[in-house]
A = this chain, B = another copy of it.
Amino acid sequence: MKNRLGNLKKSLPKHRVDAFLISSVSHISYLTGFSHFSTEEREAYLLVTRKKNYIFTDGRYSEAVKKEIKNCALVELGRGVSFGEALGNIKKTEKIRTLGIEENDLTVSEFRTLQKAGFKTTEVFLESLRIIKEDWEVKHILAACRLSDQAFDHVLKKLKTGVSEKEIAWEMELFIKSHGGQLGFESIVAFGKNSSVPHHHTGETQLGKKDGSFILLDFGARVRGYRSDMTRTIFWGKASEKQKKIYQAVFGAQKKAEEYITNNISKTVLASEVDRVSREYIKKEGFSDIPHSLGHGIGLEVHEAPYLSPRSKHGLERGMVFSIEPGIYTPGFGGVRIEDLYLLQKKNLKQLTGAKKGLIEL
């Protein structure tokens, strides 16, 4: 952890700033090892200057922070001292003029506070801070993948006529939590036509009789802070020819993306190109375009850099972990998505999620 903060500090001149104000919770967690701040409310800031590191938080966290974050000075907010005042004091002592900020995380109100305190701010792009995973991080992601693989096998046995989407999601959660994990994110369970909504909200819809309807399961686990993400679409009974054709097209689109990366493994592959290859395959097969991006990086957050999308600027490099998840969705009929996680290694693309993905008819 110390190294991470040290490396970031070394990059101050490159970013042409005197200090970084880190506000995103995952970055704070990544840099300090302290992972207990809420992601729903602003509870902390990390200030990295040439000389020191400061963690700003309130009285609810002071004791824990003092104990667990060794290389940062604690600035306790809320007792008289406001965030702006506290920052202003450090600005003076350390002669900070230019402050690097995360513009895609900091709010306009916070920005105004910095302006009032006299800072000149510059946007710094730190999204690639966590983009290359260390070996121990991959290990945690892999552990999360193993757990979701097992949860998938477990849940297959729980599918029966009359069971609801919510009940299946709960079975998944129970399995993951009673095996030492947390949910990676809120599971998506979509029966029948509901599968045509890429982010269907798991509800009360029940499985009917075995008529071949779609069952889409998109879920993940979290182990030691690191997440997995996987989607499987299976059939409740015999799939029709039309359904099989859709399934094979999605399966093929995922394969195309894998192959494109593998065939170009010695170069830096553009994430946008991978997205394009998969997308074009689906259109060539006669289906409508994927209504979302092809994939995303994953780690402390479920969606993080690199992004595999048409507008992405990322190049894929060794040590990156990301999803490939094409999908075809027909409103009123249903949809298929297949999603796996991959680690890009020197000589190959290693799939991390392991649940079976041939066409499954239950």
Contact = CB atoms under 8 A, between A and B. Distances in A.
Interface of A: 36, 39-41, 58-64, 78-79, 101, 103-109, 111-112, 123, 170, 173, 177, 196-201, 289, 291-293, 301-303, 329, 331
Copies of this protein, total? 2
A177 B289 CA distance: 38
B63 A331 contact: yes
> A79, A104, A107 — which one has the most chain B CB atoms within 10 A of its CB?
A107
A172 to B, nearest CB: 12
A289 B170 CA distance: 42
25 contacts: A36-B201, A39-B40, A40-B301, A40-B302, A58-B291, A60-B198, A60-B291, A61-B197, A61-B198, A62-B291, A63-B196, A63-B331, A64-B197, A64-B199, A64-B200, A64-B201, A78-B291, A78-B292, A101-B108, A104-B107, A105-B107, A106-B107, A106-B108, A109-B123, A111-B111
A285 to B, nearest CB: 19
A107 B103 contact: yes
A130 to B, nearest CB: 16
A156 B204 CA distance: 32
A301 B38 CA distance: 13
A318 to B, nearest CB: 27
Contacts of A40: 39-40, 301-302
